[in-house]
Every structure is written in C-alpha cells, then in structure tokens.
C-alpha cells in the first residue's frame, strides 16, 4: 500500500502514559498503513513537556526536527538540539524533556511497539 500525506494530515493524539506531560504523537506510518517492520512517529512537546522515564526491549532511532531540550539516559542528562540524531538500544532507561520553546522529534520503532 502506498501512502503520501503531509504529517499534519495525521491526527495528533495526546500521549496518555503515566509520567508523560504536554506531549502529542502522530503515527505517520504504522502497521495500519501496511508497514511490516517499522513505525514512524512525530512527537510534539510543549515547553517543559516530557516523556516518562522508562525502558523497553526495542530500540529507538530519533531525529530532533525542531527545538531543544535534554535526554536523560541511564541517569545522565544530555542536551540536544534541532538536527541531532539519537540512537537508544533496547533496554536503555531514558526520557526526553523539551526546552522552554518546546520541540518536535521523529522516532522510528519496530511495528507493534507503543
């Protein structure tokens, strides 16, 4: 199945996970589109928005599209900015926190991950 849309045509959903705040996600490519291996998600973080501090078995490939903030990985805070790429192996404890102007990132994960 072929898909070509602007990412804003995909509805943004509030991330409702314990420990997340001021974050939305757009599942721009997913299993519903016929993607057998990877899902592409666009996350928008308001100022000081954050994901939960968590770990899971799958890896993340992340590209910071806009804004800045910091990544906490295995207890260490690391700043990031627009244009940075971040690889997190499965099992790595992490969270993303946006700076004062918010941030947008793209994240690739294996199909079936939430």
CATH number at residue 16: 2.60.120.10
CA distance 75 to 97: 13
The whole-number pLDDT of residue 113 equals 75
The number of distinct structural domains making up the chain is: 1
**85 within some domain:** yes
**40 within some domain:** yes
**16 within some domain:** yes
Domain that holds residue 54: 7-110
The whole-number pLDDT of residue 114 equals 67
**Tokens at 111, concatenated:** 């199909």
The whole-number pLDDT of residue 27 equals 96
**Tokens at 88, concatenated:** 């997190």
**Tokens at 20, concatenated:** 């997340």
The whole-number pLDDT of residue 26 equals 98
pLDDT averaged per 10 residues, the chain (length 114): 93 96 97 93 98 92 97 96 96 97 95 77
The whole-number pLDDT of residue 110 equals 87
**44 within some domain:** yes
Summary count for the chain: helices (H), strands (E): 0, 7
Query: Could you tell me the pTM of the whole model?
Result: 0.94
Bridge partners of 29, per DSSP, are: 40
- Report the SS3 class of residue 7: helix
**2 within some domain:** no
* CB-side neighbour CA atoms (13 Å) of 1: 9
């Amino acid at each position: 199945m072929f898909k070509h849309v602007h990412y804003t045509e995909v509805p943004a959903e509030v991330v409702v996970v314990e420990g997340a705040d001021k974050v939305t996600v757009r599942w721009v490519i997913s299993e519903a589109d016929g993607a057998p291996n990877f899902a592409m998600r666009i996350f928008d973080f308001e100022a000081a928005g954050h994901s939960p501090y968590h770990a899971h078995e799958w890896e993340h490939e992340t590209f910071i599209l806009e804004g800045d903030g910091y990544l906490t990985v295995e207890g260490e805070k690391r700043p990031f900015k627009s244009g940075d790429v971040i690889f997190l192996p499965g099992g790595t404890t992490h969270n993303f926190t946006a700076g004062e102007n918010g941030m947008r990132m793209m994240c690739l994960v294996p199909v079936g991950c939430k």
